[in-house]
Structure 1
Amino acid sequence: SNARTGWFSETWRQLGRAATADRVPGNWLLLGEVPPALGSLFDDPLTAASWDRSTAPDGVLVGAGAAEDLLAALHEVAGHPTGPVWCVTSRAVGVGTVDDPAADVRAAGVWGLGRVAGLELPDRWGGLVDLPERIDDATRRALAGTLTDDGADDQDGEDQLAVRDGQLWARRLVTTPAPQTGTWTPKGTVLITGGTGGLGGHVARRVAEQGSADRILLLSRQGSAAPGATELLEGIRAFGATAEAVAVDVTDRAAMSGLIDALAAEGAPVRTVVHAAGVVRDVRIAETGAEELAAQMAAKVEGALLLDELLPDLDDFVLFSSISGIWGAAGQAGYAAGNACLDALARRRREQGKRAVSVAWGPWAGGGMLTEHDERELRKRGLTPLLVPAALQAMEQAIMSDRAGDPVVADVTWSRFLPAFTASRPSPLFGSFEEKAA
């Protein structure tokens, strides 16, 4: 069953003949926190305050440190004609170069939202560019070349870029071999967020089956009152495991630190976290307000950040991310942004010498997360839901392998997926899969 489970990873390709320029011609609208060092690229930059809404700027440059900054800028220009909307960040992505800055979890969310913007606003969206914190002349020239791209070089259509040491790097997805590993045998207390949900339940049963953990805690807002929680706990205990469902909000600092301290005092400290909490809502960017975005990201991101802070020393810190954060999904801006933040949190944790892995999952079959109708629709689009045993095996492989990056695990039929995904906008991200799709 594992043969159908595809393993992928993000990589970055240095662009050889990238355009550079000294200035960006035309009237550009600058929104958000555009670094002051970039101001000199524009002859007469407009701001939200100075922009006459009846005129169309030649382009829009957004400076964003978090997803809500980009959301606000997209709302600002909605309904008004403008040239392409580009967004600059810092520390949002890791290219893998020596001078890569430390990961910024919030900034990574900008990229998740931007990938969705490319799908929902294909004619408006320019792309994303991650800049070094210290912007020198080479960086300015590389960005100016990107914003004035005439298509006469390697950059044509590139919309996910990073500047490092004056050089442009473009983001790519590539196939990667599944790691060969031993068996995952978590010890001590295993804490699973979203524990009474479909994914959390599958993970809990697998941990119980291994028989190595002292206790399994299923965290969710409803705890033992959640639908199916009683049956789930009975199933887990049938393996001889000690398990309980705890009603707690994973974003509540006092409640979470109290729980973690109590476990430590009982001599059953948390040694493994599997963070599977999260909510998917189907809302377009145009209809997503700042509060709605924060609500969509809360359990996933705020919960993960709190767990990261309260539990620095773990055997394993496992984050359940999604392909929506890797390549975007229309209608899932908040979900995509949240998952991109999780991927960055795992990277930051590893940079600090701690254990962490974030797995960007394709859809899972079974467990009530997908209706039969959902599964049929996904298959039509080239995404076959992962069978639970294969997905759990992949999770164990990801945890046990000490690879530097975070895997993407999905079953994709490229000949069906790519034509649909790129119907309204090309995606260089998938360049290495175009032959498979042909």
Structure 2
Amino acid sequence: MTGGFGGIGQALARWMVDHGARHIAILSRNGCMTTENRRTVAYMESRGAKVYAFTADVTNKTSLERTLNHLRENPLIPALKGIFHLAVVIDNSNVLDINESQLERALAAKSRGALNLHELTHEDGLDIFFLLSSVAATWENPEQCGYVAANSFLDALAEHRHRQGLPALSVQLDAVRGVGFLEGKTKATEIVKRKGFLTLHINEVLRMMPRLLKARVIAVITLGNMVPDNVQSADDTCGQLLNHLPDGHRHCQLDEQNFQLQCDST
């Protein structure tokens, strides 16, 4: 699990142990350094799990490969079967003002990290390749253009792996409360609300995990809590696609068998 000592990462790691995981490697740029991090590791160990904490930068392919080989070569650690890529760097830079270094910084952890994991685990016979994306990839945010691009890359990588017959799921997650970036940030929460998004509590996200991990025939899923008529995207393209239909006559349904969204005006 990359980014495993962030708020969502720690909550997910605890959930995994509660649901039977017994060997978890947590990779983080800063390692297990806070009291909260150590408390999380202690909890998982108390539940019978072996936790392997590494200070590692997923954007550094050589360092990441060394960490993966360490896990593979340890006879006491079972074969690697799941990747959970949660690493993120959020840079609030406007699309008109962002410079190259800011864009690179925003893209690196998510996109380059994901690509490194993809390339370095081809031969591991993975069952799970879980990418934590964001609804920003669909609804856009000109104030976080690097973040939007990075999440869009995750979605594209998941589609690419599916075409290769490899496991992958990119979850476009809505704003989360209880843990994570928004926790304690009143201004950021208000911006999210003005855009028409409601938040998801981390417990709601965790309750969805069993269903998400069983999703084998779809590469990208959006997990959000929103009022569709109030959601604002950068250009409102989605709304314009249906503008020719009279109010009250727009109908969309999901063909669950073929995973296609069908719209008509009946």
Q: TM-score range by the shorter chain?
A: 0.7 to 0.9
The one-letter amino acid paired with 2:192 is L
3-state secondary structure, aligned to 1:231: helix
Equivalent residue for 1:329? 141
After TM superposition, give the deviation of residue 413 of structure 1 in Å: 1.2
Relative to the length of structure 2, the TM-score reads 0.83
Relative to the length of structure 1, the TM-score reads 0.52
Which structure 2 residues correspond to residues 39-438 of structure 1 after superposition, within 5 A?
Answer: 192-211=1-20, 213-226=21-34, 228-267=36-75, 268=77, 269-312=79-122, 313-370=125-182, 371=184, 373=186, 374-418=188-232, 421=233, 425-428=235-238, 431=241
3-state secondary structure, aligned to 1:407: strand
Structure-2 separation of matches of 1:260 and 1:403: 27
The one-letter amino acid paired with 1:245 is A
Change over 3 Å in CA distance of 1:257–1:426 after alignment to 2? closer
3-state secondary structure, aligned to 1:193: coil
Structure-2 separation of matches of 1:323 and 1:432: 20
1:160-218 Cα distance to aligned partner (Å, 9 max, x none):
xxxxxxxxxxxxxxxxxxxxxxxxxxxxxxxx10000011111101111012x231111
Structure-1 separation of matches of 2:219 and 2:50: 33
Rg larger in 1 or in 2? Answer: 1
Structure-1 separation of matches of 2:67 and 2:85: 16
Structure-2 separation of matches of 1:202 and 1:383: 22
After TM superposition, give the deviation of residue 428 of structure 1 in Å: 3.2
3-state secondary structure, aligned to 2:142: coil
The one-letter amino acid paired with 2:48 is G
The one-letter amino acid paired with 1:286 is L
After TM superposition, give the deviation of residue 270 of structure 1 in Å: 1.8
| Preserved CA contact (<8 Å) 2:94 2:144 | yes
Structure-1 separation of matches of 2:60 and 2:90: 20
| Preserved CA contact (<8 Å) 2:196 2:226 | yes
1:129-173 Cα distance to aligned partner (Å, 9 max, x none):
xxxxxxxxxxxxxxxxxxxxxxxxxxxxxxxxxxxxxxxxxxxxx
Change over 3 Å in CA distance of 1:277–1:432 after alignment to 2? farther
| Preserved CA contact (<8 Å) 1:195 1:220 | yes
Structure 2: any 5+ residue segments left out of the alignment?
Answer: 251-266
Change over 3 Å in CA distance of 1:234–1:207 after alignment to 2? same
After TM superposition, give the deviation of residue 429 of structure 1 in Å: 5.5
| Preserved CA contact (<8 Å) 2:24 2:52 | yes
| Preserved CA contact (<8 Å) 1:196 1:226 | no
The one-letter amino acid paired with 1:256 is L
3-state secondary structure, aligned to 2:131: strand
- Which structure exhibits the higher relative contact order, with contacts defined as CA atoms closer than 8 Å and separated by 6 or more residues? 1
| Preserved CA contact (<8 Å) 2:162 2:219 | no
After TM superposition, give the deviation of residue 224 of structure 1 in Å: 1.2
Structure 1: any 5+ residue segments left out of the alignment?
Answer: 1-191
Structure-1 separation of matches of 2:197 and 2:50: 36
The one-letter amino acid paired with 1:308 is H
| Preserved CA contact (<8 Å) 2:135 2:173 | yes
| Preserved CA contact (<8 Å) 1:219 1:247 | yes
The one-letter amino acid paired with 2:93 is V
3-state secondary structure, aligned to 1:358: strand
After TM superposition, give the deviation of residue 386 of structure 1 in Å: 0.7
1:353-375 Cα distance to aligned partner (Å, 9 max, x none):
11111011111111142125133
1:407-429 Cα distance to aligned partner (Å, 9 max, x none):
111101123324xx47xx44235
| Preserved CA contact (<8 Å) 2:177 2:200 | yes
Q: Tell me how many residue pairs correspond in the alignment.
A: 241
3-state secondary structure, aligned to 1:321: strand
The one-letter amino acid paired with 2:109 is A
Structure-2 separation of matches of 1:343 and 1:226: 31
1:9-46 Cα distance to aligned partner (Å, 9 max, x none):
xxxxxxxxxxxxxxxxxxxxxxxxxxxxxxxxxxxxxx
